[in-house]
Structure 1
Amino acid sequence: MFRTRFSTLFRNSGGELRNGWWIALFFLLLAAGVFPLIMLSSSLGFELAPWMQALLVLLVSLLCQRLRGKPQAQLLGALNRQWLRQLAAGVLLGAGLMALPALLLTLTGQLSWQWHGLGQTALLAALLLFVGVAVTEELTFRGFMFQRLIDGIGSWPAQLVMSAYFVLNHASALKQGDSWHYLAMLNIFIASLMFGLAYLRTRSLALPIGLHFMANFTQGTLFGFGVSGSAEQGMLSPVIAAGCPDWLSGGSFGLEASVPGLITVILFTVLLWRWRGSAAT
């Protein structure tokens, strides 16, 4: 009797390792790679670039998927023309996600623009930065761990857990100010639901990666707003009208912390929720 109960603690009725233990293994392997990499970068004096983080999370995710005996297509989505089309669709949606609130603020006279321009080197650096960030965060929050939670507790409980974790991951940025603190927190939480829906509707990471990447790239590199509180130099420099409150413009945090940004992310989330996509939830 004891042996049976002990066995069910680790394995389900089908004899497979329970999803919670797979998540624990994912974190353990990630830590086994992260800590030596941090120590190495500190001793050799190089920066732990986003592409390095993305590569580490990808390798750990693929390793866990291999240990489960499952194909990588279940993790990333089938790498075919459909994957590329979904990536392109995500890029278009990500651009619109930031262009709409910027346009609204411009049309209402709360925002004007100055051309700043970026050299090829700065543009390439920004491109690599935001690709690395998008791949790292989507693999972490919509990849192996999210997919194990879906199998274990269902889609929407998994969405709520990962969205709370996504907010927690931005905690240091959210502590930078008071006027937009709760607005930014709500925006980030709903954005995570939106990225999660992009995965659930396609069962592929292509759409959420494209959406996440281009939202950050448009907000920071093209429009010159802060990205989650991190100041960015863009091709354009936004000039916020005198007296425009931070809750309307987003202040130093970026459009993510503005009411127009919140309205837009809610709109895009509802659209993804209503879209049946190519996979049933």
Structure 2
Amino acid sequence: MNNDKALVWIKLAVLLLLFGFAGAIGMGALAPWIFGIDLSSPESLSSASKLAMLTTGTAFTTAIIFLFRKFADKKPVTSMGLVDNRWFKMSLVGLGLGGLVQIIVFLSLSLIGNYKMNSLSSLPAIIYFAAAAVVAWQEETLYRAYIIENLKIYGDRFALIASAVIFVIPHFSGRGFSNPAEYISIFLFGMVVGMAYLRSHSIFLPLGFHTGFNFFEDILLKTPAEISGAGFEALSWVALGAVTLLLLTFLERYRSKF
């Protein structure tokens, strides 16, 4: 058993390295070659080009995860919550709850007079949604479906907390430490979607939640609010907590069906 526990961490370390490498190859080499994207001026890339690069990178990282599950773990890919005849309902409920977090934050800021949304971008909403969904898929397949499943050897509670901690690490890039509360928000988000995965036994509920969260953040909260970073994060915690109660109510109501 101890050897198995040590092996889990070795596999995770190798997977994370390959995950980063595969994403970089897919985005930085293969996508430009397939779609004829010129990387000489990254700041001038169109949204469609960025989406194509992101999607290609995600396809590569997904392949790495699936191959690891099948050959390193010697378990079927379907054991990561990917087969669910309630997938549409789970996705839709998650989408609504994830979006509700950002709507609560947006309305709260608007009511206290600390936020005024600029006119929406002319960029089609489908581009925002597609990008949000692709990012959510990439992160949920890794941090929830794969990492939680492997860390269950330590128990569900440990798997949940550890996966949320690991989820925070890559988000340090480019953020710095000017607003430490932001990392608490990322950890709490990881806990919520991890709980959704563990309780529903399906990737589609956290996938929908993550997509809705990202999508509504993109269209509602891109304008800086006239509030401190810590204050904004505290408001986000309240909104996330309120929606988590709704999520728990949903999971409890349908517990017999999971």
Is the TM value for this pair above 0.5?
yes
Aligned to 2:80: 75
Paired AA for residue 204 in structure 1: S
Query: Structure 1-normalised TM-score?
Result: 0.72
Paired AA for residue 81 in structure 2: L
Paired AA for residue 247 in structure 1: A
Aligned to 2:136: 134
1 CA distance for matches of 2:188 and 2:246? 13
Q: What is the CA deviation profile of residues 78-105 of structure 1, one whole-angstrom value per residue up to 9, with x for unaligned ones?
A: 142x011100111100110100111112
Q: Shift of the alpha carbon at 1:73? A: 2.5
Task: Please state if 1:109 is matched with 2:107.
Answer: no
Q: How has the CA–CA distance of structure 1 residues 119 and 32 changed in structure 2, closer, same or farther, with 3 Å as cutoff? A: closer
Q: Shift of the alpha carbon at 1:173? A: 3.9
1 CA distance for matches of 2:16 and 2:181? 30
Aligned residue pairs total 240
Structure 1 unaligned segments of length 5 or more: list them.
1-7, 227-237, 251-257
Aligned to 2:46: none
Q: Shift of the alpha carbon at 1:270? A: 4.5
Query: Structure 2-normalised TM-score?
Result: 0.78
Residue identity over aligned pairs, in percent, reads: 18
Task: Please state if 1:259 is matched with 2:257.
Answer: no
Aligned to 1:158: 159
Q: How has the CA–CA distance of structure 1 residues 157 and 270 changed in structure 2, closer, same or farther, with 3 Å as cutoff? A: farther
Q: Which has the higher contact order (CA 8 A, sep 6+)?
A: 2
1 CA distance for matches of 2:17 and 2:109? 45
Q: Tell whether the 8 Å contact from 2:90 to 2:204 is kept in structure 1 after alignment.
A: yes
Any residues of structure 2 matched to 1:110-259 within 5 Å, and which? 110-120=114-124, 123-150=125-152, 152-175=153-176, 178=178, 181-220=179-218, 222-223=219-220, 225-226=221-222, 238=223, 240=225, 244-248=227-231, 250=232, 258-259=233-234
Q: What is the CA deviation profile of residues 212-232 of structure 1, one whole-angstrom value per residue up to 9, with x for unaligned ones?
A: 111111011x21x24xxxxxx
- RMSD, matched Cα: 3.2
Aligned structure 1 segments of 4 or more residues deviating by more than 6 angstroms: none
